Chain A
Amino acid sequence: MAISDDASPEDATVASGSEDAVTTTQDSDASGWSAWPVRYARDHIVHLVVILLFAVYPGLYHEATTLPDGLVIPLVDVQLALVFQSFLPQVTTMTPILYFGLFAMSFDFISGYTGYLSFGHAAFYGIGAYFVILVANGKIPLLASGTPFMVSLVLAAVLAALIAVAIGFVSFRLTGVYFAMITLGFAQVFYVFVRGWDWVSTTPRDGVGVSFATHPEGFRIGIPYLDSASYAIGRLTGSGIDNFLGMFDLSTNVVSFYMIGLVVLVCYFLMQRIIHSPFGRVMIAIRENEERAEAVGYNTFYYKLGAFAISGAFAGVGGALFAGYRRSVTPENTFYFLTTGDALLSSIIGGLGTIAGPLYGRLFEQGLAEFLSKGSEGGGLLPLLQELLSDSLLGTNVLGLTIEEMIDVFINGRASLYVGIVFVLFVLFVPNGLLGTLRDRLGGPIAKVVPDRLFGGERP
Chain B
Amino acid sequence: MINTLLAVAPELVPLALVDSFIEFLHPSELSRVLIDGLSKAAIYAMIAGGLTLIFGLMGVLNFAHGSLTMVGAYLGGAVMVLMVSSTTGPLARVAFFFVAVAVVFGALSAVGGALEVTLIRRLYDRPPIAQILLTFGLTLIIDELMRIILEFYDIQPRADWIAAWGTKPWFLSQRLSVGPISVRGIALFEIVMGVLTVAGIWAFLTRTRYGLFIRAGSEDSEMASALGIDVRRVFTVVFALGTGVAGIAGALLMWDTHWGASVPLGAETLLPAFVVVIIGGLGTFRGTVAAALLVGLVDAIMSWWFVNEIKFSGLPQLTIFLILVFVLIVRPQGLFGVEEVGGH
Partner of A290 from the list B122, B136, B318, B344 (CB cut-off 8 Å) is B344
Residues of chain A with a CB closer than 8 A to B312's CB: 196
How many angstroms from the CA of A423 to the CA of B144 in the assembled complex? 14
Given A178-B278, A185-B275, A189-B321, A173 contacting B129 (CB threshold 8 A): no
How many angstroms from the CA of A344 to the CA of B133 in the assembled complex? 8
Interface residues of chain B: helix, strand, loop or mixed (majority):
helix
How many angstroms from the CA of A423 to the CA of B119 in the assembled complex? 13
CB-based contact A174/B328 at 8 Å: yes
CB-based contact A417/B134 at 8 Å: no
How many angstroms from the CA of A174 to the CA of B330 in the assembled complex? 11
How many angstroms from the CA of A417 to the CA of B139 in the assembled complex? 9
A124-132, A153-161, A255-263, A408-416: which lies at the B interface?
A: A408-416
How many angstroms from the CA of A344 to the CA of B278 in the assembled complex? 21
Q: How far, in Å, is A198 (CB) from chain B's closest CB?
A: 9
Counting chain A CB atoms within 10 Å of each CB, the highest count among B122, B267, B325 belongs to: B325
CB-based contact A337/B271 at 8 Å: yes
Chain B residue at smallest Cβ distance from A115: B344
Contact with A along B295-333 (1 / 0, CB 8 A): 000000000000000001111011001101100110011
How many angstroms from the CA of A238 to the CA of B119 in the assembled complex? 47
How many interface residues does A have (CB within 8 Å)?
Answer: 43
User: Any chain B CB within 8 A of the CB of A393?
Assistant: no
Contact with B along A405-440 (1 / 0, CB 8 A): 000011000101101110110011001000000000
How many angstroms from the CA of A216 to the CA of B275 in the assembled complex? 44
Of residues 264 through 288 on chain B, the ones whose CB sits less than 8 Å from some CB of chain A are 267, 271, 274-275, 278, 282
CB-based contact A192/B344 at 8 Å: no
CB-based contact B321/A176 at 8 Å: no
CB-based contact B343/A181 at 8 Å: no
Residues of chain B with a CB closer than 8 A to A431's CB: 126, 130
User: Any chain B CB within 8 A of the CB of A197?
Assistant: yes
Q: How far, in Å, is A25 (CB) from chain B's closest CB?
A: 46
Contact with A along B111-152 (1 / 0, CB 8 A): 000000001001100101110111011111101110110011
Residues of chain B with a CB closer than 8 A to A54's CB: none
How many angstroms from the CA of A416 to the CA of B315 in the assembled complex? 32
The range of chain B's interface size is 35 or more
CB-based contact A178/B144 at 8 Å: no
CB-based contact A427/B134 at 8 Å: yes
Interface residues of chain A: helix, strand, loop or mixed (majority):
helix
How many angstroms from the CA of A421 to the CA of B344 in the assembled complex? 28
Residues of chain A with a CB closer than 8 A to B143's CB: 416
Chain B residue at smallest Cβ distance from A419: B140
Given A337-B271, A424-B137, A178 contacting B130 (CB threshold 8 A): no
Given A192-B318, A428-B134, A181 contacting B148 (CB threshold 8 A): no
Partner of B267 from the list A181, A338, A409, A428 (CB cut-off 8 Å) is A338
User: Any chain B CB within 8 A of the CB of A24?
Assistant: no
Residues of chain B with a CB closer than 8 A to A170's CB: 325, 329
Given A185-B321, A195-B314, A417 contacting B140 (CB threshold 8 A): yes
Residues of chain A with a CB closer than 8 A to B119's CB: 424, 428
User: Any chain A CB within 8 A of the CB of B61?
Assistant: yes
Of residues 147 through 173 on chain B, the ones whose CB sits less than 8 Å from some CB of chain A are 147-148, 151-152
Residues of chain B with a CB closer than 8 A to A177's CB: 61, 128, 278, 282, 342
CB-based contact A176/B134 at 8 Å: no
Given A192-B317, A410-B148, A176 contacting B275 (CB threshold 8 A): no
CB-based contact B318/A409 at 8 Å: no
How many angstroms from the CA of A441 to the CA of B319 in the assembled complex? 49
B contact set with A: CB distance below 8 Å: 61, 119, 122-123, 126, 128-130, 132-134, 136-141, 143-145, 147-148, 151-152, 267, 271, 274-275, 278, 282, 312-315, 317-318, 321-322, 324-325, 328-329, 332-334, 342-344
27 contacts between A and B (CB under 8 A): A170-B329, A175-B343, A178-B278, A181-B275, A182-B328, A185-B328, A186-B321, A189-B321, A189-B325, A192-B321, A193-B318, A195-B314, A196-B314, A197-B314, A409-B152, A410-B148, A414-B144, A414-B148, A416-B144, A417-B140, A417-B144, A420-B139, A423-B133, A424-B137, A424-B141, A428-B119, A428-B122
Known contacts A181-B328, A423-B133, A427-B134, then 4 further A-B pairs from the complex at CB < 8 Å, ordered by chain A residue: A178-B334, A196-B313, A197-B314, A427-B137
Closest 8 CB pairs of A and B: A196-B314, A420-B140, A417-B144, A420-B141, A423-B137, A424-B137, A175-B344, A185-B324
